[in-house]
A and B are shown apart, each in its own frame.
Chain A
Amino acid sequence: MARPQVAGLSIAALADGVRARKWKARDLVESYLDRIARLDGRLGCYLLVDADGARARADQVDAALAAGKDPGPLAGVPIGLKDIFVTRGLETTAGSKILRGFIPPYESTVSTRLAAAGAIALGKLNMDEFAMGSSNENSAFKPVHNPWDLERVPGGSSGGSAASVAASLCAGSLGTDTGGSIRQPASLCGIAGMKPTYGRVSRYGVIAFASSLDHPGPFGRTVEDVAALLEVIAGHDELDATSIPSPVGSYRQACAAGLSGMRVGVPEEYFQSGMDPEVEAAVRAAIDEIARAGAKLVPVSLPHTKYAVATYYLVCTAEASSNLARYDGVRFGHRTAEASSLDELYSKTRGEGFGAEPKRRIVLGTYVLRSGYYDAYYGKALRVRRKIYDDFRAVFDKCDVLATPTSPTAAFKLGERQADPLQMYLADIYTVAPALAGVPALSQCCGFTKNNLPIGLQIIGPPLGEEAVFRVGGEYQRRTDWHKRLPKDPS
């Protein structure tokens, strides 16, 4: 058997090939490891490659198949994990120096489920420090380069997760989305990624940035690949009190279910000034294609959308300031070399360990939660968040899903926005409202700019409406070829 050419292969093709014993899982793993070794130096997707572990697990899958056992629906599929998922025995940093050297003694629920389904984790993927960022430039270790244009960012914070799938350095990956951190990089890298309903996927073992907003979710080359990964990782987890006990849907089936009777809402607030005209044209064309596929388009309004970014930055900074309090140098991770008092241990450890963005958000969040100011900031943000949620509830009486752009622009250049955090925060303008509302949202490729940069279409569904989202995403993809384009391997 020749070593398979894996670039561009879908998860379904890989798993079917392994299960049909067309390829050995070990050969797939070697092919991907080879690509990583050759290409990742230019891309910066991986913070850690667990080659030995991946080979050992691939051999287990092959042994199971040889023994006539079913290794699971993702048999031998090589995947990558954003370095925010804790992995037993494997350094987990969340892209931060403060966690350098942290070897977790436990494993995240979702990576456990992927392994049980036969998937093989190749390593840990680069990210913005503690998932704070929209360009992956806030990684404490190295930037990620967009495979479509190495001068450009892949988006963030799950930049490594998106770029690695786009560049075929893994077949699928997991990321987390707090304000857009799955959908925006999926859009900028020309692949599919989904932020499921809040609580649909367990957060156990996912390093917290903003607990009420953190959504783990999958990336894939195709919408079906995303659906296949979600079927494995979704579902109730008794280790996460916010996880939802209702049964997991048939997401792959939904991808092929067609659009008859579907009503697709087009919210006016998502097509306003500031959007790149090329992005707008591509997204409007995609919506027209969806209409041609049989869906009814409904103009709708989500009037509180304009408050989403401000609300988001109050909620996420408050929660981040709390979640990041545990990095004190006492039990794990970085500890300052010398401190003469307890206060100094804290200030030096945290001063040395955290980068600029976590520090900025800790300061903002600490301010937001000050005694006497709770009602003015966090309390008010929670009330507005409720209004934003109510907007979605109301709009889903009129339509089954919403179609919008994912990001107002295609990938921007490395360094272009780094001096201006506010400009960077606006990269999330179309993704934060669904995050605040906890509703599922998918991004998939719907075209390219004249510079050959991918453009993303966002499909938003009601709570637990993942199947409706996959119906639209799957049908649109069936009718278009954007997802088949591959970036050239960097030389």
Chain B
Amino acid sequence: MSVDRYEAVIGLEVHVHLGTRTKIFSASSTTFGEEPNSCTDPVCLGLPGALPVLNRAVVDAAVRLGLAVGSHIRPHCRFARKHYFYPDLPKGFQISQFDEPLCEGGAVEFRLAGESRKVRLTRIHLEDDAGKNIHDNSGVSFVDFNRAGVPLVEIVSDPDIRSSDEAAEYMRALRALVRTLGISDGNMEEGSLRCDANVSLRLRGVEKLGTKAELKNINSFKNVREAIEHEIRRQTGVLDRGEAVVQETRLWDPDRGISQSMRSKEHAHDYRYFPEPDLPPLAVDQAWIDRAKASLPELPENRFRRYTETSGLSAQDAGVLTSEREIADYFDAAVKACAAPAKKVANWIINEVLARVSDPRALAAADLPVPPAALAELVDLVENGTLSGKLGKDVFSRMWQEKRRAGEIVASESVAVVSDAGLIEETCKKVVAAHPDEVARYKGGQSKLLGFFVGKVMKEMGGKANPKTANELMQKLLG
């Protein structure tokens, strides 16, 4: 394989649904999964005479995104019509932005295998989504226009990405960002986050870009990685055979794990862009930008830095906690309510809490069995010695199942650690008496058998013996 001869150069165009209540140019609901064509109106159906009116909440969301990635927000931008024919495109054109996008420049920062990475952005622009074609087995096709007019931002990166892993991490970072900003649920299964990838290869050390292929229909993190991997292998094969890569658009088939040519450069669409005459130019003044700036939450990368630099977390733990806004919010709330160090809280969340939710977004639910303050109470009980680590885990399980607070379980069922030295010593004596052989071996020098004796004591006492006391007494007894 000659993969290493070449360097992959990748740019992504990521489409993100903005989670506004209504559509970008009309008042229909954007709710996903409704009865087909129930969330429609004359505007999003492209009925004659209907006119688009821009939803300001959409602009606000995009401005917040632009500010979060350090884009320049254009004081004036324009919408443009992008023409092509397809049954799911009701007007025969998409309302997008062309020569004057809302946001220009900026960058997305993230980490790849512990290294900090930065992918620069070309632009972020607004557009409306198309409907969805549905084909049934009888050869009849249907169109559901519920998605038509759902607001999208298209985030266009510079060709700064060098590997499929980096592309996937970039997508994850974008997803975390839009979710932290609260402007999108970033749900890839529902098509809220989709991506096209421009991939080209060049010989290592060469500056000039190679001919690119555009991959379409990439709609999961797994697909991002696989589609790009596949494309790098395909182009490597082409170049190794001494052939030239053809500029074309290829459609990724996730089921078969291959891509197929959709159209060559010669057959590329002529979108016939021109300024959308139904919408006046959009003006975003400084006051609007200032308001949006003031409303920005702490961003994932800033949180990561705070966790690693101030809270003393490892990069790995900080990475897990900042991977979803809800995890980090849960963590921050628990730390705030807790006397113990943040690191202890992080361990409990990563090992216990996250093990019990299939989707971390559930951590924001109001009826979560163990809310942050409840976890904080438990961690404090463990840290002050009321519960051993093991008891703590048992109590956590019961808290999760029974939706009860730790203090309540401890108080009502005496599950707390027994620190009564007399009781522990009595049990230690019983254990020593019952295991003469082990006592002899211990005395013969096998000092690691101490753990065996303490374990027996703990078992006798149902795990409730204070481990420190048990250890000391047993050591003394064995002489």
Contact = CB atoms under 8 A, between A and B. Distances in A.
Interface of A: 84-86, 92, 94, 99, 102, 104-106, 108, 203-208, 210-212, 238-242, 318-319, 321-322, 324-328, 330-332, 342, 346, 366, 369-371, 374, 378
Interface stretch (B43-51, B317-325, B352-360): B43-51
B272 A369 contact: yes
A86 B48 contact: yes
Instruction: Indicate the member of A207, A208, A238, A322 with the most B CB atoms within 10 Å.
Output: A322
Interface stretch (B87-95, B113-121, B434-442, B455-463): B87-95
A92 B273 CA distance: 29
B414 to A, nearest CB: 68
Contacts of A241: 51-54, 278-280
Contacts of A322: 81, 83, 92-93, 272, 274
Contacts of A369: 83, 272-274
Contact of A208 (B45, B49, B273, B280): B49
A321 B277 CA distance: 13
Instruction: Indicate the member of B50, B90, B93 with the most A CB atoms within 10 Å.
Output: B50
Contacts of A104: 42, 47-49
B274 A330 contact: no
Which 10 A-B residue pairings sit nearest by Cβ, starting from the closest? A325-B92, A369-B272, A211-B277, A212-B277, A207-B48, A205-B49, A86-B49, A326-B46, A371-B270, A207-B49
B91 A330 contact: no
Interface of B: 42, 45-54, 81, 83, 85, 87, 90-93, 143, 270-274, 277-280
B274 A378 contact: yes
Nearest to A99: B48
Instruction: Indicate the member of A99, A324, A371 with the most B CB atoms within 10 Å.
Output: A371
Contacts of A238: 53
Contacts of A203: 49, 51
Contacts of B83: 322, 325, 369
Nearest to A211: B277
Nearest to A210: B277
Contact of A331 (B45, B52, B279): B45
B42 A331 contact: no
A328 B47 CA distance: 11
Contacts of A212: 277
A173 to B, nearest CB: 18
Given A322-B83, A326-B92, A328-B85, A374 B48 contact: no
A377 B51 CA distance: 26
Nearest to A371: B270
Contacts of B273: 369, 371, 374
A366 B49 contact: no
B272 A326 contact: no
Contacts of B92: 322, 324-326, 328
A102 B48 contact: yes
Contacts of A324: 92
B51 A326 contact: no
A241 B279 CA distance: 6
Given A370-B270, A371-B270, A211 B278 contact: yes
B interface majority secondary structure: loop
A410 B441 CA distance: 125
Instruction: Indicate the member of B53, B83, B271, B272 with the most A CB atoms within 10 Å.
Output: B272
Contacts of A318: 274
Given A211-B278, A241-B280, 14 more contacts: A238-B53, A319-B274, A319-B277, A322-B92, A322-B93, A322-B274, A324-B92, A328-B87, A328-B92, A331-B47, A332-B47, A369-B272, A371-B270, A378-B274
Instruction: Indicate the member of A92, A205, A325 with the most B CB atoms within 10 Å.
Output: A325
Nearest to A204: B51
A106 B274 contact: no
Contacts of B270: 370-371
A63 B92 CA distance: 46
A155 to B, nearest CB: 23
12 contacts: A86-B49, A203-B49, A205-B50, A208-B49, A239-B53, A325-B85, A326-B46, A326-B92, A328-B87, A328-B92, A331-B143, A371-B272
A244 B42 CA distance: 22
Given A325-B93, A326-B91, A370-B272, A204 B46 contact: no
A208 B273 CA distance: 18
Contacts of B280: 241-242
B271 A371 contact: yes
A212 B51 CA distance: 12
Contacts of B90: 326, 330-331
A318 B276 CA distance: 12
Nearest to A329: B87
B54 A106 contact: no
Nearest to A213: B277
A86 B48 CA distance: 8
A296 to B, nearest CB: 36
B29 to A, nearest CB: 17
A206 B278 CA distance: 12
A319 to B, nearest CB: 6
Contacts of A210: 277
A106 B42 contact: yes
Contacts of A242: 277-280
Contacts of A370: 270, 272
A85 B273 CA distance: 27
Contact of B47 (A84, A106, A206, A319): A106
A204 B50 contact: yes
Nearest to B98: A374
Contacts of B278: 208, 211, 241-242
Contacts of A378: 274
Instruction: Indicate the member of B270, B278, B279 with the most A CB atoms within 10 Å.
Output: B278
A326 to B, nearest CB: 5
A330 B87 contact: yes
A326 B95 CA distance: 13
